[in-house]
Amino acid sequence: MEHTLPAKKVIKRLVKNCLREDIGSGDVTARLTPRDSVIDGRIITRERGVICGVAWVNEVFKQVGKRHKTKIEIDWRVKDGDIAKAGSTLCRFEGVAHPILSGERSALNIMQTLSGTATVTRLYADAIAHTKARLLDTRKTLPLLREAQKYAVRCGGGVNHRMGLYDGIIIKENHLRSGKSLERIVTEAITSMPEGALVELEVETIEELERGLLAGAKRIMLDDFSLEDMREAVAMTGDQADLEASGGINLDTIAAVAETGVDFISSGSITKHVKALDLSMLFDYR
């Protein structure tokens, strides 16, 4: 399955910052190796998981190669979204040692994080595959990795929620405390956004759900509802609005939540509680 990548400038910027952080004024250890030495290498995974981050690794090697006025050749055996078995070779590469050594950690850090995100997303998505519910991510992403992690969520079988505060409205408890009524703020939100844009109301009780429906909300988030209350909310709502379950959802609870009949389930765990996939680069010097 093909997954739409973030813009090239997004990938380039992340890689540039990672390399700046790691290399700084120069890789003083790589200088100990002969300048003209050549490496044949590979990236392997030491555990089963969903692979994500090919474009970022390519960009790492492109940028470090450019610094050294050389090109690093990469032959990928997988693509983003593929499930790789433990011990699998993900790619082979060859090139001058210095830039490869300098880019090793940045390439692995990015790919391990994105593959970890995609892998846990797949576990959650598979757990609710027998229901109509779709898995959503949140804005609870690692700093400056939002677009990359949301891409990884797509690779793992999830669906993106809004990207940030600029492309959709979610009316939460703190907004409702501003003094405006629920009904007024919902109406203002709907009229302020283009048709088809995300406008969502978060509710904490059945009574708030009822008020939201009467106000015309078409997407309503059920925050920390019990399973019993979720079932009641689904029955009450019918086809008036889409319902999203949120709050404290994990791999142990998500299937039961999906079986209540909600349309969406959002979980911050898939992007903030990330266990990096165990990847390694192995080198052979010619």
The pLDDT tens digits of the residues spanning 236-286 come to: 999 999 999 999 899 999 999 999 999 999 999 999 999 999 999 999 988
Architecture of domain 130-272: Alpha-Beta Barrel (3.20)
Whether 203 shows a pLDDT value over 80: the answer reads yes
- Which one-letter amino acid corresponds to residue 268? G
- At residue 74, the pLDDT reads 98
Residue ranges, comma separated, of all CATH 3.90.1170.20 domains in the chain are 8-124+274-285
Q: Where in the sequence numbering do the catalytic residues fall?
A: 105, 140, 172, 202, 223
Cα–Cα distances in angstroms (integers) from residue 75 to residues 33, 41, 51, 107, 219, in the given order = 24, 10, 15, 15, 45
Mean pLDDT, residues 126-148 taken together:
97
Confidence class for position 2, pLDDT limits 50, 70, 90: low
Cα-to-chain-centroid distance, residue 53: 11
Beta strands 219-223 and 198-203, pairing class: parallel
- Residue count (the chain): 286
What's the pLDDT score for residue 178?
A: 84
Q: Is a pLDDT exceeding 60 seen at residue 1?
A: no
Q: What is the CATH number of domain 8-124+274-285?
A: 3.90.1170.20
- List the structure tokens of 2: 């093909």
- pTM of the predicted structure, to 2 decimals: 0.95
